[in-house]
């Protein structure tokens, strides 16, 4: 279980790194006249994503979830793959990436990298990771609750983001 807690801690550190990049990019976008869309749902997103990490640890500790190698190792591989895809998304968007929905006037929609295959690859990462990360150590309740709540949040987030992206045209 200690290795799992270390994994969750590593993911938390990765999230902090994302927030540092996001803050820098948000400032860059605002300096160029960037407009934020849908700021109201952002605090909910922060709470939900934090709760995922907390839930992973709490469920494993409180409910004595076992590590099942046939499930845990493949899920760990999926978690690692999602981190690679997440950073591919971030690097492809460059200064335009941040955790908020911000559009810079006159900017072009990014269609390279993973965005040439699907319109919102980072949300695919979030969905997959929301299942895989808890299941590394059999935290199936956390996986289910996060998935349901995240689906509701993504419905709002995708609507907001698609509206914002439509303003680029």
Average pLDDT over residues 61-74: 98
Nearest of 138, 142, 133 to residue 55 by alpha carbon: 142
Q: Which residue ranges make up each domain of the chain?
A: 2-103+111-166
CATH 1.20.1600.10 is held by the domain 2-103+111-166:
no
Predicted local distance difference test score (pLDDT) of residue 169: 62
Question: The tokens of 20 are what?
Answer: 């540092």
pTM of the model: 0.94
Q: Cβ–Cβ contacts within 10 Å for residue 16, how many?
A: 9
pLDDT digits 0-9 by tens, 115-132 = 999 999 999 999 999 999
């Amino acid at each position: 279980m200690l290795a799992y807690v270390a994994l969750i801690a590593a993911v938390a550190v990765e999230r902090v790194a994302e927030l540092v990049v996001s803050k820098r990019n948000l400032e860059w976008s605002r300096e160029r006249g960037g407009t934020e869309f849908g700021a109201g749902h952002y605090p909910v997103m922060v709470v939900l994503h934090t709760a995922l990490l907390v839930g992973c640890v709490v469920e494993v500790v409180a409910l004595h979830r076992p590590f099942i190698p046939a499930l845990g190792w493949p899920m760990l591989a999926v978690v690692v793959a999602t981190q690679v895809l997440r950073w591919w998304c971030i690097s492809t968007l460059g200064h335009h990436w941040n955790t908020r929905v911000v559009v810079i006037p006159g900017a072009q929609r990014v269609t390279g990298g993973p965005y040439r295959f699907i319109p919102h690859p980072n949300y695919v990462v979030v969905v997959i990771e929301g299942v895989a990360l808890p299941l590394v150590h059999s935290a199936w309740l956390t996986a289910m609750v996060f998935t349901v709540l995240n689906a509701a949040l993504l419905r709002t987030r995708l609507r907001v983001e698609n509206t914002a992206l439509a303003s680029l045209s």
